[in-house]
Structure 1
Amino acid sequence: MQCAKGVIYKYINDRIKERHENFNSNLIRDYADVHLNLKNETSSQDNYQVNSSFESITTFFTSGVDLISNALTWTILYMQEYPDVQNKCRDVLNEIYGHSNVYWSDRKNVPYIEAVIMEINRLSSNAGFTAPHTTEKETTLLGFTIPKKSVIRANLYSAHRDPKYWEEPHVFNPDRFLKDEKLIRNPAYMPFGIGPRKCVAHKMSELIQFVTFSNLVRRVSFEREDPNETHTFQPVYEQLTLRPMPFKTISTVL
Structure 2
Amino acid sequence: MLARIACILVSNGLVWKHQRHFGIGALRKLGMRNKGMERGIQTEARYLVEFFRSKDGRAVDPSFPIVHAVSNVICAVVFGHRFSLEDETFCQLIEAFSCMVAFANSYFHYVCELLPWVAELLPGPQLKASYSCEFIRSFIRQEIKTHRERGKIGEPEDFIDLYLDQIEKTKNIPNSTYDEDNMVQSVFDLFLGGSETTATTLRWALLYMMAYPDVQEKVQKELDAVLSPSHLVCYEDRKRLPYTNAVIHEILRFGSIVLITIPRQAVKDTTVLGYGLPKGTLIMANIDSTLFDPEYWETPHQFNPGHFLDKDGNFVTREAFLAFSAGHRVCLGEVLAKMELFIIFCSLLKAFKFTPPEGVKEVNTEVIFGGTMKPHPYKLCAVPR
TM over 0.5: yes
Structure with greater strand percent: 1
- Aligned amino acid, residue 184 of structure 1: V
Residues 32-60 of structure 1 show CA distances to partners (whole Å, capped at 9, x for unaligned) of 33333333333563252522222222122
Does residue 15 of the first structure (1) align with residue 143 of the second (2)?
Answer: yes
Q: For each residue in 1:52-101, what CA deviation from the matched residue of structure 2 results, as whole angstroms up to 9, or x when unmatched?
A: 22222212222211111101110011100111110111111122222122
Q: For residue 104 of structure 1, what is the amino acid of its counterpart?
A: Y
> Is 1:104 matched up with 2:235?
yes
Select the residue among 202, 207, 215 that pairs with 2:334: 202
RMSD, matched Cα: 2.2
Aligned: 1:66 with 2:196? yes
AA aligned opposite 2:218 = K
Q: How far off is 1:248 after superposition?
A: 3.5
The 5-angstrom pairing of residues 162-173 of structure 1 reads: 162-173=293-304
Unaligned runs of 5+ in 1: none
CA distance in 1, matches of 2:305, 2:351: 21
Mapped partners of 1:223, 1:5: distance in 2: 36
- What TM-score results when the alignment is normalised by the length of structure 2? 0.60
**Which amino acid in the other structure matches residue 255 of structure 2?**
S
2:351 to 200, 219, 226: 219
Q: Are the counterparts in 1 of residues 198 and 341 from structure 2 also a CA contact under 8 Å? A: yes
2:155 — aligned with what?
27
Tell me the amino acid that sits aligned with residue 138 of structure 2. K
User: Offset at 1:155?
Assistant: 1.5
Over the matched positions of the two proteins, sequence identity in percent amounts to 30
- Structure 2: 5+ residue runs without aligned partners? 1-98, 100-128
**SS, match of residue 169 in structure 1:** coil
| Aligned pairs for 1:100-249 within 5 A | 100-179=231-310, 180-225=312-357, 229-238=361-370, 240-249=371-380
Kept in 1, the 8 Å contact 2:291–2:320? The answer is: yes
Distance in structure 2 (CA, Å) of the matches to 1:196 and 1:144: 22
Number of residue pairs matched by the alignment? 252
Deviation at 1:144, TM superposition (A): 1.0
The residue that corresponds to 2:40 in the other structure is none
Of the structure 1 ranges 100-109 and 110-119, higher mean CA displacement relative to structure 2 is found in 100-109
Moved more, 68-77 or 55-64: 55-64
Instruction: Tell me the distance in 2 between the aligned counterparts of 1:112 and 1:223.
Output: 21
TM (normalized to structure 1)?
A: 0.89
Offset, 1:102: 0.8
The structure carrying a bigger helix percent of its residues is 2
Verify the 8 A CA contact 1:130 1:192 in the aligned structure 2.
Answer: no
SS in 1 for 2:262: coil
SS across alignment from 1:182: coil
Question: Secondary structure of 1:91's match?
Answer: helix
Change beyond 3 A, Cα 1:16–1:135: farther
Pair 195,29 (structure 1): closer, same or farther in 2 beyond 3 Å: farther
1:52 matched to which residue of 2? Answer: 182
